[in-house]
Amino acid sequence: MKTNPPASLWIAILLAASIAVTTGASIQSTSKSNSKETAAGDLKRGKYLVEEVAKCTECHTPRDAQGQLDRSRWLQGAPIWITPVHPTNSWAENAPVLAGFPSFSDADAANILEKGVGPRGEVIRPPMHIYHLSHEDALAIVAYLRSVPSRSQ
């Protein structure tokens, strides 16, 4: 003879299912939130590394008539304003546009920032420093540079 489970068992099953669904939704919502927070954190960290640590703006942002960085052309590329102490054949005359990072893929950026090697295998020319950044720092810098509007945007 078949017997139906007691009502309390059904209530327990429904309660467990409800908790499982709610917990799953909460975990999914948290992971989406965390990825947005991570992206914002990467941008903030990338900005800090670009502007405060590496000082990329000093060479990659044009200057106004008073010699101050022109904020309206932030990271838009500029003539190199410093000269080497000793003659250097490979000294770069212009710093490329970094805003939007238009000329480089993420892989190019990683090679430049982690190994000091350009997109076609060339060694980075002075006065650019050769950095040996971690992959995470390189990605944070790329995220920030891609967020800076370029003249063409």
Reported as a single tens digit per residue, the pLDDT across 106-120 is 889 889 999 999 888
Grouping H, G, I as helix, E, B as strand and the rest as coil, residue 130 is coil
Averaged pLDDT, 65-81:
95
Does residue 46 fall inside a structural domain? yes
Does some domain include residue 55?
Answer: yes
Is 28 among the domain residues?
Answer: no
> For the residues 121-149, what does the mean pLDDT come to?
93
Residue numbers of the domain that contains 43: 36-147
Give residue 135's pLDDT band: very low, low, confident or very high (50, 70, 90): very high
Q: Is residue 13 part of a domain?
A: no
Among 153, 140, 53, smallest CA distance to 97 is for 153
CATH of residue 137: 1.10.760
Q: Answer yes or no: is 7 within a domain.
A: no
3-state helix, strand, coil in the chain (%, to 5): 50, 5, 45
DSSP state of 8: H
- Domain annotation covers residue 22: no
Domain for residue 20, yes or no?
no
Give the pLDDT band (50/70/90) at residue 34: low
In contact, 113 and 137? CB cutoff 8 Å:
yes
pLDDT tops 50 at residue 64: yes
Q: What is the reported pLDDT for 53? A: 95
As a whole number of Å, the CA-based R_g of the chain is 26
What pLDDT shows up at residue 129?
Answer: 86
**Any domain includes 8:** no
Please give the tally of structural domains in the chain. Answer: 1
pLDDT at 24 over 60: no
Query: Given a cut of 60, is residue 5 above it in pLDDT?
Result: no
